[in-house]
Amino acid sequence: MEYKFTSKSVDDTLTIAQNIESEKFPNMVICLEGDLGSGKTVFTKGFAAALGIEDTITSPTFNIIKEYTNGELPLYHMDVYRIEEIDESIGITDYFNKGGVTIIEWADIIKNQLPKDRLVIKFKVIDEDTRVLIFIPYGDRYEELCNAVL
């Protein structure tokens, strides 16, 4: 089942991220998909703030993975946009079982590496301020999360 949320501002995107964070659990995987500037990093900022992470959150485009370990749970923020070929030495899949929350921007690029259970959020740009977020839960725990929040 798909769930839709219309964000009419950056604040709306931050709020929905904070609401999703309120249902967090260890080894949670959130996969973000959407064009450049569609709100993926804004969502991550809201989620990180709700976790209590005070660091400045930026897209880890050149680092691939940024780790934030000073919140309620560790946050592993990935941006796989620049990955042309999956290199197992990067250890992306190792993060899925480290007890934290993994948020992956451009997750559709590595869909064969993603865990079976995960939450996919697709960002669709409507206009300068408006985005439609489509939530697609894979697995009972993510379905319950969507039912609780959306």
108 in helix, strand or coil?
A: helix
Strands (E), the chain: 3-7, 28-34, 65-68, 75-79, 101-105, 118-125, 131-138
- Averaged over 44-70, what is the pLDDT? 91
- Averaged over 71-78, what is the pLDDT? 96
How confident is residue 64, by pLDDT bands cut at 50, 70 and 90? confident
- Using a pLDDT cut of 90, give the percent of the chain over it: 83
Q: Residue 102 has which token pair?
A: 């993994």
- Give backbone dihedrals phi and psi of 104, rounded to 5 degrees, phi first: -120, 115
Q: Residue 64 has which token pair?
A: 């691939």
Average pLDDT, the chain: 93
Closest by CA to 19, choosing from 121, 126, 100, is: 121
Tell me the CA distances in angstroms from 131 to 10, 36, 89, 134, 146, one per residue in order. 9, 12, 35, 10, 18
- Averaged over 115-140, what is the pLDDT? 98
The residue behind tokens 């865990």 is 115
- Averaged over 50-73, what is the pLDDT? 90
Q: Domains in the chain, please, with CATH?
A: 3-149 (3.40.50.300)
Instruction: Determine the pLDDT at residue 7.
Output: 98
What is the pTM (predicted TM-score) of this model?
0.95
